[in-house]
A and B are shown apart, each in its own frame.
Chain A
Amino acid sequence: MLSATAEHAVRALIQLAVLGGNGSVTGKQLSCTAGIPPNYLSKILCLLGHAGMIHATRGSHGGYQLVWDAAHIRLTDVVNLFDHARWRKGCFLDCGRDCKEADQCAAHSGWQECRDVFERFLDRTTIAALAAPIPVPPLVTPQWKGRRAS
Chain B
Amino acid sequence: MLSTTAQYALRALLVLASEPAERLVLGKDMARLAQIPGNYLSKIMITMAAAGLVEATRGSNGGYRLSRPADQIHLIEVVGLFDRQVAPKSCFLGVRTECSDCDPCTAHMAWKSVKAELVHFLEGTTLDKISGVPFKRARPAKRKTV
With known contacts A10-B93, A110-B124, A118-B1, A92–B133 Cβ distance under 8 A: yes
Contact status A93-B106, CB under 8 Å: no
> Which residues in chain A, 93-128, are within 8 Å of chain B measured between CB atoms?
93-97, 105-107, 110-111, 113-115, 117-118, 121, 124-125
CA distance A113 to B116 in the complex (A): 12
Tell me, in angstroms, the Cα distance from A87 to B134 when the chains sit together.
16
> Judging by beta carbons under 8 Å apart, are A117 and B1 in contact?
no
Partner of B118, one of A3, A97, A114, A134: A114
> By CB atoms of chain A within 10 A, which of B1, B104, B132, B136 has the most?
B1
Interface residue ranges of A1-36 to B (CB < 8 Å): 1-3, 7, 10-11, 14, 35
Bound-complex Cα distance A91 to B84 (A)? 21
Report the Cα distance A82→B131, complex, angstroms: 30
B114 at interface, CB cutoff 8 A: yes
Complex Cα distance A3/B7, Å? 13
Q: A106-B129, A106-B130 are in contact. Are A118 and B118 (CB under 8 A)?
A: yes
Tell me how far the C-beta of A78 lies from the nearest C-beta in chain B, rounded to whole angstroms.
Answer: 12
- Given the interface pairs A1-B1, A107-B125, A113-B121, the reply to whether A95 lies near B133 with Cβ below 8 Å is yes
Q: Judge whether A130 and B107 touch: CB under 8 Å.
A: yes
| Interface assignment of B62: CB less than 8 Å from any CB of chain A | no
B138: chain A residues at CB < 8 Å are 96-97
Interface size on A, residues (CB 8 A): 34
CA distance A58 to B129 in the complex (A): 56
Q: Could you list 7 further interchain pairs (A-B, Cβ under 8 angstroms) beyond the known A14-B93, A105-B132? A: A1-B83, A97-B134, A97-B137, A107-B130, A110-B125, A129-B110, A134-B104
Interface of B toward A, CB cutoff 8 Å: 1-4, 7, 10-11, 14, 83, 85, 92-95, 104-107, 110-111, 113-114, 117-118, 121, 124-125, 129-138
Q: Which A residues are closer than 8 A to B by beta carbons?
A: 1-3, 7, 10-11, 14, 35, 87, 91-97, 105-107, 110-111, 113-115, 117-118, 121, 124-125, 129-132, 134
A sample of 18 inter-chain contacts (CB < 8 A) reads A7-B93, A87-B1, A93-B7, A93-B14, A93-B130, A93-B135, A95-B136, A96-B138, A97-B134, A105-B130, A105-B133, A106-B130, A110-B124, A114-B121, A121-B110, A121-B114, A124-B110, A132-B106
